[in-house]
Chains A and B, each alone.
Chain A
């Protein structure tokens, strides 16, 4: 069973507000991923880190999202100015780097 911890489980924000969620990856896993899963179960990759460095990120993440994975602290994903279209389940996963990923339970964001 996965030991990835995500907080909060539920987050409700108004449009234009900041929304921040956190993730503690499995101990010893150097790679951390953030995904956005919409109501149709479609995954959108947002960003991943190896140790504290960004490996890959999409344009949306560069512009409106900020993310970090500091050493000895939880990883975080923050939406600077929430939009209705950001309502989704945000999943954090960690990996040893061999394709198998361990997921947290997700943070369900609702933007009113």
Chain B
């Protein structure tokens, strides 16, 4: 069974700072790893996904994530955050053998201060 953990419940940065949101997973086989963003009171919006190939995946709005098999990680990064990036970010994992079962992390709330 695949699991995913997000070690930081809250991250606070200033506008223009860089940010890294951490995600670690466990699963023995091939997996899909994804990041989603949830603004307050809204549904989740897909940011990016990794399955194979280049371990650095570019997403929307300047986000990117890097897969590391050795660290079992898929951290999300942005070089310069904007106040509108304030939201809750969820990491998700699904086994390639069953992409209809998606396990979500507990989320990291990112607060961007002006």
Contacts and interface: CB of A to CB of B under 8 A. Distances in A.
Interface of A: 1-2, 4, 6, 31, 33, 40-43, 45, 48, 50, 55-56, 91, 93, 95, 97-106
B43 A99 contact: no
Contacts of A106: 42-43
Given A33-B100, A33-B102, A97-B100, 4 more contacts: A43-B104, A55-B100, A99-B51, A103-B45
Contacts, number: 60
A50 B44 CA distance: 21
A4 B43 contact: yes
A93 B44 CA distance: 9
Given A41-B107, A99-B32, A104 B43 contact: yes
A91 B44 contact: yes
Contact of A41 (B42, B102, B106): B106
A42 B5 CA distance: 12
B86 interface: no
B88 A99 contact: no
Nearest to B33: A99
Contact of A48 (B32, B36, B45, B100): B100
Nearest to B104: A43
Contacts of B44: 91, 93, 101, 103
A1 B42 CA distance: 12
B24 interface: no
Contact of B46 (A33, A97, A100): A100
Interface in B38-53: 38, 41-46, 49, 51
B45 A99 contact: no
Given A95-B100, A97-B100, A98-B99, A40 B106 contact: yes
B48 to A, nearest CB: 9
B94 A99 contact: yes
